[in-house]
Amino acid sequence: MGRWAMRSRWNARKAVRAGTDSALDVLHPLLVLGRGAHRLAGWGLAWWTRTPRERRGPTLFAVAACGVLLWLLPYGPMLMGLGLLGTTAWYGRQSAAGPDGSRAAPTAVERARLQALYEALVPYFALEGDPHPEPLYAYDGGWERAFEEFVFRDGRISGLLLRYPPSFRDGELAARLRVERLLAAKTGRGREYRFCWDEECNLLEMTALEPLPTRIHAQPFVTAPGETVLGFTDGCEIHRTVPVHFLGEPAPRDVPPVMWRTGPRSTEQHLLAVGTPGSGTSSLLRSLALQALGRGEVLIVDGDGGGEFASFAARHGVLGVETTLPGALTALEWAARETERRLLSAGRARQRGENVPEDVRRPLWVLVDRPAALTHLARTEGRTDPQELLRMPLRHGRAAGVTVAVAEQFEGAEELGDAVLTFTRARVVLGAVSPEQVGGVLGEAPQTGPPLGVPPGRGFARLGHGPVLRLQVPATPDPQDETAGEAERNAVRELLPEPVRGPGPGPAQDRGGSGQSADVQLPAPPAGRAT
């Protein structure tokens, strides 16, 4: 009996559901039209509320005139009807909660949140003594006046398009940042947002962003010759993806990379990365070195002297790992002469109509970590500034196949010489820094912010005059750093080239006295060919 009753209830429910589905199928066109008409009416009403009184009359007159004209045309009323029907059906085609989570009509709670946000914006946008009868932002105003579109996700505003008055100084970074900080605080902390200011139309678009992936370890990336992966970013800016393995995931995922191009046609041949302590600038250089070693040779100068590049010493393709001032000066003097030699050699080959020799085409990378420390030492000892020796590779590196990447901390950034600042057009900023600081390095403040607790390797990149991109550098720890994860360290170990000779006393037996310099012989300067 019980079982029969349950089955009959289930059958009844099934029948009701089938009946409802059939009825909905039959009524579907009507529902779509109804929904479309409701949305159009809502937008019309919002437009009416938003538009200043003196502009309503002329617009209505223009619409009415078009209507009368269409009415008088042959088949005009029919075309008008069909057009209206089509528009209504188009706008009604999506259900109330669209695929992106947007809704036609906000709930009472959502309305309250929008109103609270609107009121918080009033002091920023309202003009004192505004003569306008219905200003966009006023203490007695409603959000419908200023908010054109909004998206709620999990009860929080995750997308907003708002109109601001023309009197707002949107050209001033400080004024814009004040509004961005307020919006970020009021719509939910702990998230990062993209802000797009349309200064022409006085519109501000805010979108909550997904965090960038942090579980990408060092690995051979799919790149063309001359391409180097700086890290990974959002799909909205970069439309290319590369397959990438994530820690603990068997299958690769497609992720948009920040791809840096070097070589004869590159306009950003050299890179400068600035970060806060522990933000991952040394890891970025290690990541560049591992990628560069696949196709060229690398010379490393570690001004910090912390031994973070010791694992590269005495490896195939690594010309030297210098941690002392004398070692750095010798290495950089050689790099300057090598650039000269390559230039001359390439020039002679071109004059003779021959191909550029292989040893000139093979990329040479000069990676300098914390040059400010060396500059300071050189000044106190009255020796040549190592950054001055970088001038030649920086100025002529593009034609000579030499790339320079410099990493420095914000505290040492003042010590960066004009050669480094002038010729490094690929820029990276890492760490939790203010948009002003990011703008100071990249030449433009990011459109996103504010990242509060950023993981190591997180920051922004800008290539030349391109857009400022969010960046997450792949985890590339020093294999000897016991604070880093074992899997990440193993990934780096696997990518390191074979040692030049068998296991010996190791690179820590230094030549320069710091205890960190590698015992690798730099190739003799090719004197005689360079001059």
Ligand X SMILES: Nc1ncnc2c1ncn2[C@@H]1O[C@H](COP(=O)(O)OP(=O)(O)OP(=O)(O)O)[C@@H](O)[C@H]1O
Minimum distance between the CB of residue 217 and ligand X, rounded to whole angstroms?
Answer: 8
Distance of CA 158 to the CA centre of its chain: 19
| Total number of residues shown for the chain | 531
Binding of residue 453 to ligand X (CB under 6 A): no
Q: What is the DSSP string of 425-490?
A: EEEEEESS--HHHHHHHHSS--SEE---SPPTTEEEEEETTS--EEEE--B---TT-TTS-HHHHH
CB of 452 to ligand X, least distance (A): 17
Report the residue number, 36 or 303, with the smaller CB distance to ligand X: 303
Closest CA to 40 of 53, 32, 107, 164: 32
Give the contact letters, 151-180, x = binds to ligand X (CB under 6 A), - = no: ------------------------------
Could you say whether residue 372 binds ligand X (CB under 6 A)?
A: no
Nearer to ligand X, 151 or 289 (CB): 289
Question: What mask of x and - would describe binding to ligand X in positions 286 to 325, judged by CB under 6 A?
Answer: ------------------x---x-----------------
Query: Is 273 a binder of ligand X (CB under 6 A)?
Result: no
516 makes contact with ligand X (CB under 6 A): no
Please list, residue by residue across 173-192, b when 16 or more beta carbons sit within 10 angstroms of its beta carbon and e when fewer do. Answer: eeebbebbeebbebbbeebb
Number of residues this chain uses to bind ligand X (CB under 6 A):
18
Among 141, 159, 275, 363, binds ligand X (CB under 6 A): 275
Q: Is 457 in the site for ligand X (CB under 6 A)?
A: yes
Give the CA distances from residue 174 to residues 101, 199, 469, in Å, rounded to whole numbers and listed in that order. 32, 15, 20
Q: Which is nearer to ligand X, 32 or 301 (CB)?
A: 301
State yes or no: 453 annotated in a binding site. no
How far apart (Å, rounded) are the C-alpha atoms in residues 529 and 340? Answer: 10
Q: Write out the two tokens for 302.
A: 């570690």
Q: Is 513 annotated as contributing to ligand binding?
A: no
Q: 277 labelled as ligand-binding?
A: yes
- Considering only 14-22, 277-285, 419-427, 521-529, which stretch makes contact with ligand X by CB under 6 A? 277-285
The minimum distance between CB 162 and ligand X, in angstroms, equals: 35
Q: Does 282 show up as a binding residue in the annotation?
A: yes
Beta carbon of residue 258, minimum distance to ligand X (angstroms, whole number): 13
Output DSSP code: residue 1: -
- What residues from 7 to 26 belong to the interface with ligand X (CB under 6 A)? none
Residue 370 vs 398, nearer CB to ligand X: 370
Single out the segment in contact with ligand X by CB under 6 A; choices: 236-244, 311-319, 471-479, 490-498: 471-479
Concatenated DSSP letters for 44-88?
HHHHHHHS-HHHHHHHHHHHHHHHHHHHHSTTHHHHHHHHHHHHH
Nearer to ligand X, 138 or 416 (CB): 416
481 sits near ligand X (criterion: CB under 6 A): yes
Query: How many CB atoms are located within 10 Å of the residue 511 CB?
Result: 17
Structure tokens at 104: 């036609």
Sequential DSSP letters for 226-294 = TEEEEEE--TTT----EEEPBTT-SS-EEE-EEEEE-STT-S--EEEEEE-TTSSHHHHHHHHHHHHTT
- Binding of residue 277 to ligand X (CB under 6 A): yes
Buried b (16+ CB within 10 A) or exposed e, 206-234: bbbeeebebbbbbbebebeebbbbbbbbb
> Which helix (H) or strand (E) covers residue 407, if one does?
strand 402-409
Annotated binding residue at 76? no
Determine, following the binding rule CB under 6 A, whether residue 279 of this chain makes contact with ligand X: yes
Question: Which of these ranges, 161-169, 276-284, 335-343, 387-395, lies near ligand X under the rule CB under 6 A?
Answer: 276-284
Q: Does 459 bind ligand X (CB under 6 A)?
A: no
Residues of this chain that bind ligand X (CB under 6 A): 275, 277-283, 304, 308, 456-457, 473, 475, 477, 481, 483-484
- Known binding-site residue numbers for ATP: 275-282
